[in-house]
Structure 1
Amino acid sequence: MNITESELFRSEDLGVLKTFHLKRFWDKTMKKRAGIIPQDAFIEEWTTDTKLLNILGVGLEQTIIYLYNEAPDFSAFEKWILQLNNGILPEERINAFNATFSTENASESSTKIDQILSDADIQFWEQNGYVILRNAVSKEDCDAVITALTELLSIDLNNPATWYNEHPDRQGIMIQLFQHPAIEKNRNSARIRAAYEQLWNRTDLWVSTDRVGFNPPENENWKFPGPYLHWDVSLELPIPFGLQGLLYLSDTQANQGAFSLVPGFQNRIEDWINSLPAGTDPRKENLYELGVAPIAANAGDFIIWHQALPHGSSRNTSHLPRMVQYINYSPIDAEVKTNWK
């Protein structure tokens, strides 16, 4: 069955939370769940969908799992969002998001952009496609997230036997912890935001609602499950400008399950893809042969990378776990290729 535009709620149809696009997002997801529309229907609204959830402080995967498992009516969905946010939503961010649906408010912010990254940082960025913002977050603020993470998983960092505890919020090395005051504080780090603004060369950016990660050392019973080198973007050329980032919550050595990437690949990805034999799936190639580098850094250091870089975590062969928080900023009109390749 084909659903036309007129058969869905409009973005302007509001519920109790008075947030544009929320009722439409719920409507689309419920119809996809029921098989009434295909999973890739209205893919052109993907950026708006993700920004919507970000400003409401709920994770994308977290939300999809809830909607597919519970199939709530719209009222229950709004109550779930409120509950996750302890009954308080960021009115200022909601108003700003709603304003993006008005052509009168569509102009880009002209606020002065701070040059937090040095000339050397920018030169390194242009060559390598990533940059490390040192001391982006205090150790105290990193430790607060570590405490939230370990309490959730019932982990004692002084007792390695607890590092492998089973928990429903544990998905490999990804931990489904999205809402916590310490996590939110780091998301709103002024230094991290400033670095993103400088690289995007604009200030009208929206922060993501993302999770945390815990990558313990390998042992006889637990082996690194990935993610191995991959892309989180369509490989349809040309690949648009886009960024991703993570915060090291603890000092991390190269062999400690460090975040890894292929430096400089943003400058050669088009030539590489075009050189592959016809019909080759780039994602199934041995990306490690491209020249992977693990990134060692300290607690509070923030890594930003170009989305064209193959990236992933790595095997932890040290004696300490790797702990991170994922944070990203992007504009609401960021280009997203709708044809996934």
Structure 2
Amino acid sequence: MIVKHVHDVIGTEYEVEAATWSSRRMLLRKDGVGFSLHDTTMKAGTVTEMWYKNHIEAVYCISGAGELEVVEENKKHPVVPGTLYVLNGHEKHRLICHEDLRVICVFNPPCTGTEVHDESGAYPLGEPDAYPSRVEHQPQILERVDPVVYNRSIQQDVIDEAQLHSYEQDGYLFMEQFFSEEEVAELRAELKHIWEVSATEGRPEVIREPDSEEVRSVFAVHRDSEVFKKLSMHERLTAIVRQILGSEVYVHQSRINFKPGFTGKEFYWHSDFETWHVEDGMPRMRALSCSIALEDNYFFNGPLMVIPGSHRHFIACVGRTPDQHYKESLRKQQYGVPDHASMSWLVEKYGIAAPTGKAGSILLFDCNLMHGSSSNISPLPRSNVFMVYNSIDNKLVEPFSGQRPRPGYIAARE
């Protein structure tokens, strides 16, 4: 359900003023209902020429008086309270206002919210959402329209052409013991320090397990720790990232995921991009994650599992996102979770892999790769640090859910 009041729009960018009209855009494309609805006042004594060649518009008058002139018919229709007209033939028309004319306008396709008429009298169509999710009643499997590798010309000496091709095909690249024992020791010491400090902290960056106060994750570690800040800028690592994404990059998100022995909980199957797109406004699939093992990862202590090749398909999920969903989803995700039928289709088509290795190994994986991990019921802990890199040409816009952006410690907007 969507409930709004006009006061929620007044004074925002969605209250748009023009020479002959003012419009308060109440429902927009990002609301995901298939049309937009505008509360518009046409100013007394004005004539506005319009031609909605990209849209069908329905107009219902609730106050005032004026006339609708259809240009090609040379015919006028009175517009008074109770009048409805629909421009279902994309007619060129003039609206002549004798008094302030207040009308409710419905547009299909929906508007984004800030449109004004161009010189022909039309609204621009705007770029459609390439990956709509949480807007339909049934899940959908959409084909990816973005590249996986943005630069195939090898411009670094860390990975070769075969490894780049493997990443493109499978959506991930596993590299054993990428970091030295000395580097791992420094990272592990910092991880232990963050774990101990976070145990008693109430900062929002510290995420706890859904059924206990045990630390599950700590976000923004590259911002708050000099050790992890240095890690985020590691030359060999960022060289690979720039190769794959084909541009300069920035850290979209960083976090440590803790999985202590016996009690470490699962992370259910998901595509990171689905959430980053819907809740953060990441426009396209031009980001990747690097998971760095700070403990040995075995098949039995809850390693990250991936579905190779799943990055070629976008699973559009169901269920409108609740406000401030992140406060619960970081503990246990309920929205943006793929349905069982789609997951079964992916696994039947591609199978499941669980890249495991010694501490210091890294797993680079595409933002749309389906992945998850099971609980750790072994005695051996499994802790990984994640660095998420986004292209500077893919900076965040307004969330496609239509809600407020999540905090910067989850999704950096600078």
Q: Structure 2 length normalisation: TM-score?
A: 0.46
* Equivalences for residues 1-341 of structure 1 within 5 A: 1-2=8-9, 3-5=11-13, 113-154=155-196, 168=202, 169-172=206-209, 173-176=216-219, 178=221, 179-202=224-247, 204-208=248-252, 210-218=254-262, 222=263, 224=265, 226-234=266-274, 240-267=285-312, 269=313, 283-286=337-340, 289=344, 290=347, 291-334=351-394, 338-340=399-401
Q: Which has the larger radius of gyration?
A: 2
**Counterparts of 1:308 and 1:321 in 2: how far apart (Å)?**
27
State the Cα deviation string for residues 111-139 of structure 1 (Å, max 9, x = none): x9314212221222122110023433222
RMSD of the alignment, in Å?
A: 3.8
AA aligned opposite 1:171: R
Which protein has the bigger helix share?
1
State the Cα deviation string for residues 282-315 of structure 1 (Å, max 9, x = none): 8341265323322212222221111221112322
State the Cα deviation string for residues 148-173 of structure 1 (Å, max 9, x = none): 22233339xxxxxxxx9676435232
The answer to whether the 8 A contact 1:141-1:186 is kept is: no
**Counterparts of 2:164 and 2:380 in 1: how far apart (Å)?**
32
The offset of 1:320, in angstroms, is: 1.1
The offset of 1:264, in angstroms, is: 0.9
- Shift in alpha-carbon separation, 1:175–1:228, aligned structure 2, 3 A: same
The answer to whether the 8 A contact 2:300-2:378 is kept is: yes
**Counterparts of 1:43 and 1:303 in 2: how far apart (Å)?**
40
State the Cα deviation string for residues 242-265 of structure 1 (Å, max 9, x = none): 312211112211222211211111
Report how many aligned residue pairs link the two structures: 220
Which protein has the bigger strand share?
2
The answer to whether the 8 A contact 1:117-1:198 is kept is: no
AA aligned opposite 2:179: V
Which secondary structure state, in structure 1, belongs to the residue aligned with residue 377 of structure 2? coil
The offset of 1:210, in angstroms, is: 1.4
The answer to whether the 8 A contact 1:215-1:322 is kept is: yes
AA aligned opposite 1:214: F
AA aligned opposite 2:393: D
The answer to whether the 8 A contact 1:240-1:335 is kept is: no
**Counterparts of 1:234 and 1:152 in 2: how far apart (Å)?**
29
**Counterparts of 1:246 and 1:124 in 2: how far apart (Å)?**
17
1:106 — aligned with what?
Answer: none
1:50 — aligned with what?
Answer: none
Which secondary structure state, in structure 1, belongs to the residue aligned with residue 190 of structure 2? helix
Which secondary structure state, in structure 2, belongs to the residue aligned with residue 298 of structure 1? coil
Q: Structure 1 length normalisation: TM-score?
A: 0.54
**Which structure exhibits the higher relative contact order, with contacts defined as CA atoms closer than 8 Å and separated by 6 or more residues?**
1
Q: Where does structure 2 lack aligned partners over 5 or more consecutive residues?
A: 1-7, 16-111, 115-153, 210-215, 319-334, 403-414
Q: Where does structure 1 lack aligned partners over 5 or more consecutive residues?
A: 8-41, 45-111, 156-163
- Shift in alpha-carbon separation, 1:340–1:273, aligned structure 2, 3 A: same
